[in-house]
């Protein structure tokens, strides 16, 4: 199928195909996925469209042209490959969380281990407070293939400051202002999941005080970094 629309939209889609393809290399670079698991998607700004990885294609075979475009109900709009099996979940999130511009799903080892335990990652580190604004929550178990996972993500993250959710018995999903921001959250999630796991082997680390969590989150989101540039 082919997009029949304005040149500006075609240009935006072409740019996002390049971006989404490149960001999948970050998943392998940071060892967040194995084989063909995991995916990155990006919302096409101002359109009811998204760009996402095709289903079951090895990472070394991914190219911008291989990325597929669907509408926000998961229907193929442009591309000659079957979209990711998580497409319906991504589409549901985009429909219900309009500020989300990018989504990542990985099976990173430590974050997925917390998902298997159905246990939130407690906010015991400044990095957890900075990036996620508190405990990283657990979402419900849901089968793959329809929008059930998306519903669980939205129900868990709506009203939360966290940009990550540990879907029970499955693995982590992260959201962001754009796809790069969501990938950053996935990388940071695995890092804190590993560190907090190690800390738990030594004892029970205390959760940060809520007032400190709030202060840290505000600083990181609004002050940290170069003025006018995103923290990612």
> How far, in Å, CA of 94 to CA of 188, rounded?
22
CB atoms within 10 A of CB 162: 23
Residue 111 CA to residue 116 CA, distance in Å, equals: 9
Q: Is 109 helix (H, G, I), strand (E, B) or coil?
A: helix
- Which of 15, 107, 197, 218 is the catalytic position? 107
- The total number of residues written for the chain in this structure: 232
Q: Which phi and psi angles does 2 have, rounded to 5°?
A: -135, 145
Known catalytic residue at 107? yes
Q: β-strands 76-78, 102-105: how paired?
A: unpaired
Structure tokens at 184: 């950053």
Catalytic site includes residue 130: yes
Catalytic position from the list 73, 146, 200, 224: 224
200 catalytic per annotation: no
**CA-to-CA separations, 183 to 8, 92, 118, 227, in angstroms, rounded:** 25, 19, 22, 22
Per the annotation, the verdict on 30 as an active-site residue is: no
Helices 109-117, 179-202: axis angle to 10 degrees equals: 70
Select which of 130, 147, 178, 181 is catalytic.
130
Q: Exactly one of 86, 105, 110, 178 is catalytic; which is it? A: 105
User: Is 170 assigned a catalytic role?
Assistant: yes
- Asked whether 56 and 33 are in contact (CB, 8 A), the reply is no
Give the active site residue among 170, 178, 181, 191: 170
Q: What is the Cα–Cα distance from 91 to 185, expressed in whole angstroms?
A: 19
Active-site annotation, residues: 105, 107, 130, 170, 224
């Amino acid at each position: 199928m082919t997009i029949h629309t304005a040149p500006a939209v075609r240009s935006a889609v072409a740019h996002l195909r390049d971006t989404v393809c490149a960001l999948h290399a970050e998943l392998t670079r940071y060892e967040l996925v194995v084989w063909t698991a995991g995916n990155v998607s990006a919302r096409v700004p101002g359109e009811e469209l998204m760009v996402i990885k095709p289903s079951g294609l090895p990472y070394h075979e991914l190219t911008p042209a291989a990325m597929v475009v669907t509408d926000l109900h998961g229907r193929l709009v442009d591309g000659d490959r079957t979209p990711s099996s998580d497409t319906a979940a991504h589409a549901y999130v985009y429909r219900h969380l309009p500020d989300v511009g990018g989504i990542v799903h990985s099976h990173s080892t430590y974050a997925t281990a917390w998902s298997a335990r159905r246990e939130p990652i407690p906010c015991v580190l400044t990095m957890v407070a900075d990036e996620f604004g508190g405990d990283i929550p657990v979402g419900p178990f849901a089968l793959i293939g329809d929008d059930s996972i998306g519903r669980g993500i939205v129900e868990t993250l709506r009203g939360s400051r966290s940009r990550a959710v540990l879907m029970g018995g499955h693995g982590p999903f992260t959201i962001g202002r754009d796809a790069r921001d969501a990938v950053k959250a996935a990388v940071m999630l695995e890092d804190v999941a590993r560190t907090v796991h190690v800390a738990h082997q030594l004892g029970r680390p205390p959760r940060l005080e809520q007032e400190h969590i709030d202060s840290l989150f505000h600083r990181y989101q609004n002050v940290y970094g170069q003025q006018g540039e995103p923290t990612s």
